[in-house]
Amino acid sequence: MDYIPGSRLDHALRRLGRGALLDRLHAMRALADVRGCRYVNDAGQPRTIDIALKPWVLTSQQLLMFHRSVHLLADALLRLPRLYAAREDVRRIIRFEPARESWLRLVRHPRARPLAVVGRLDSTAIYDHARWRADFRMLEPNTVGVGGVHYAPTGCGIVMDVLGDVLSRAFPGRVITATPDPRQLLFDELAAVARRLGRPLKGIALIENMDFTTGTDEFGELARYFASRGLKAVVADPRQLRLVRGRLVARGLPVDLLYRDSELEEFVDMETGGHRLSALRRAVSEGRLISGLTWEFDQKSAWEIFTDTRFMRYFRPAQRAFFRQHLLWTRLVRDARVTDPSGRTVDLLPFIRRNKARLVLKPNTLFGGEGVTLGRTVSQREWESVLQRALRGRERYVVQALARVPTDVFPMLREGGVHFTERCVVSGFFFNSSAIGLVGRFSGLPVVNVSRGGGLIPALWVH
């Protein structure tokens, strides 16, 4: 069998009894707090992120299949810059205003060629049933400011510490480990870029916009991880970068590469506000920014290019087959004639109005579930209001086919006791140029995100 039935771990957990489950849930919460699994809400208050006591357990066959799938899609994303340069219709779907275009032109410098990334592709994949290969859908790309790089391995370590004896009894004689560590994927990618550039890797700056004090809180933990690996690391604002005698310096530390949590739009806003980012521009032109600006093409509207037959000749047969089976129909919201999910040509706006129960409206470049509207959860009047915002607001939107978000039942702390509670779940596949990792998320809401009160599902590997 190439998967682990969910009943196997469910039975092992229920045999513990409610008293033991309660103790272990409290242990999970305490370890999550101690090990830095925090989210800071809009009021500036930190919240300990829930880690599911019931992890996902994947087989080697599953990891291999998703490795191939994720890299098919990552390669397709890498083809977008060339398509963008060649086709006006692609430039209408994935658009950059002149200020961002000026930054993108920096990556034409020959030394900017190394294309490195630690990205995440979100999906409806789950792993404990016989149709795991066929039933998943890819939701959207996320290759800049990737969340979970620290949380995912930390969650795996916590569940192994708290539930190790139960896992040993449930899988006697089998070796169980965490799935590949995204921190290691990032470390490996940084080392590979340094080799391509012919420079030693001694220091790195983790750059993020310090104007934002809410959200995930991972960069400090990542800096400590890199230090444990012998790599000097500092967390800095892009405006704190300097060129000192030709060397890139962040908060006094000479650095070789930059890993960013900031979107290109934030760099543009900083310059518009009067800040000079000459040191950052130099790093971009030399290929020293990870993820590189090439990955700004990870807009949700990229799925339109992958699901429209006009563009299929630009992709390999294996990619085209993957798109047909596993990508959600997506179109940039505009007044245009497009093909609908069945391939018929329709006027897009009337189609959106008529079919709200099976559609979702999403801001094209926002993240964290912000602005996502499921048609089946709102009135027709509210749906029309969101559609008007999509047509007239500053932020462009996409419309996407509604995905069937799977659910699972988890033992959870509630009102001082243990309750087995149904939650919506999604997968996030981390990737670099050669490997993948995995984290799950769960929530009581159909839009599953840590920023909306969700928690994390550790993903383990049974060898």
DSSP 359: E
- What is the helix (H) or strand (E) element at residue 303, kind and residue range? helix 302-306
- State the amino acid at position 45 in one-letter form: Q
d(CA 404, CA 116): 32
Residues 116-141 have a mean pLDDT of 92
**Number of C-alpha atoms within 13 angstroms, CB side, residue 349?**
11
Lowest mean pLDDT among 73-87, 109-123, 179-193, 445-459: 109-123
Structure tokens at 204: 């790195």
Tokens standing for 331?
């179109």
| Per-residue pLDDT, 310 | 94
Whether the pLDDT of residue 21 is over 70: the answer is yes
406, pLDDT greater than 70? yes
Enter the tokens of residue 234: 């500092």
Single out the residue of 324, 309, 245 nearest to residue 279, CA to CA: 245
Contact residues for 21 (Cβ-Cβ < 8 A; gap 6+): 13, 53, 411, 418
Average pLDDT over the chain, rounded to whole?
92
Least confident stretch, 24-38, 207-221, 322-336 = 207-221
Average pLDDT score over residue span 238-266: 94
* Residue 343 clears pLDDT 90, i.e. is over it: yes
- 109 pLDDT higher than 60: no
Residue 131: which residues within 8 A CB-CB, separation 6 or more? none
Q: If pLDDT is split at 50, 70 and 90, which confidence band does 118 have?
A: confident
Cα atoms found within 13 Å of the Cα of residue 461, Cβ hemisphere only: 16
Say how far apart CA 321 and CA 207 lie, in whole Å. Answer: 38
Secondary structure (3-state) at 171: coil
Question: Quick one: pLDDT at residue 380?
Answer: 96
362: confidence class by pLDDT, cuts 50, 70, 90: very high
d(CA 328, CA 207): 33
What is the helix (H) or strand (E) element at residue 243, kind and residue range? strand 241-244
Written as one letter, the residue type at 8 is R
Q: At what angle do helices 182-197 and 219-228 cross, to 10 degrees?
A: 70
- Give the phi and the psi of residue 430 in degrees, each rounded to 5: -75, 150
Q: What is the pLDDT of residue 112?
A: 46
Instruction: Report d(CA 199, CA 288) in Å as an integer.
Output: 11
Q: Which residues contact 298 (CB under 8 A, 6 or more apart)?
A: 77, 119, 141, 142, 143, 144
Strand duo 215-216 + 38-40: pairing: antiparallel
203-243 per-position pLDDT tens digit: 999 999 988 877 777 899 999 999 999 999 999 999 999 99
Q: Which phi and psi (to 5°) does residue 283 adopt?
A: -60, -40
Displacement of CA 150 from its chain's centroid (Å): 13
Domain ranges (residues) in the chain: 6-298+406-462, 329-401
Q: Say how far residue 239 (Cα) sits from the centre of its chain.
A: 25
Q: Look up tokens 């930390």; give the residue.
A: 154
Predicted local confidence at residue 43, as pLDDT = 76
Tokens 């070796």 correspond to 175
Summarised one tens digit per residue, pLDDT across range 264-295 is: 999 999 999 999 999 999 999 888 998 888 78
Q: Please give the Cα distance from 262 to 131 (Å, whole number).
A: 38
Q: For residue 75, what pLDDT is reported?
A: 92
Q: Distance between CA atoms of 438 and 185, rounded to whole angstroms?
A: 11
Mean pLDDT throughout 385-396?
91
Mean pLDDT of 160-176: 94
pLDDT for residue 197 is more than 60 = yes
What integer pLDDT is reported at residue 115 of this predicted model? 59
**Do the beta carbons of residue 183 and residue 222 sit within 8 Å?**
yes
Q: For the domain made up of 329-401, give the CATH fold.
A: Dna Ligase; domain 1 (3.30.1490)
pLDDT tier, 160 (very low <50, low <70, confident <90, very high otherwise)? very high
pLDDT attached to residue 145: 76
Q: Which residue, 289, 74, 300, is CA-closest to 193?
A: 289
Show the CA angle centred on residue 81, arms to residues 77 and 86, nearest 5°.
125
pLDDT above 70 for 250: yes
How many residues are recorded in the chain? 463
φ and ψ of 331, to 5 deg: -140, 140
Better pLDDT: 199 or 65 = 65
Provide the H-helix boundaries in 15-150: 18-34, 60-78, 80-86, 88-93, 98-104
- In this structure, which amino acid lies at residue 293? L
What gap in Å lies between CA 395 and CA 372, rounded to an integer? 12
Residue 431's H or E segment, with its range, is: strand 417-431
pLDDT of residue 42: 74
Confidence of residue 368 (pLDDT cuts 50, 70, 90): low
Could you give the percent of the chain with pLDDT greater than 70?
Answer: 97
Which of the residue ranges 114-128, 215-229, 339-353, 428-442 would you say has the lowest mean pLDDT?
Answer: 114-128
In angstroms, the CA 173 to CA 338 distance is: 55
Which three-class secondary structure state does DSSP give residue 150?
A: coil
Does residue 403 have a pLDDT over 60?
A: yes
Tell me whether the omega of the peptide bond preceding residue 291 falls within 30 degrees of 0, making it cis: yes
Percentage of residues of the chain with pLDDT beyond 90: 75
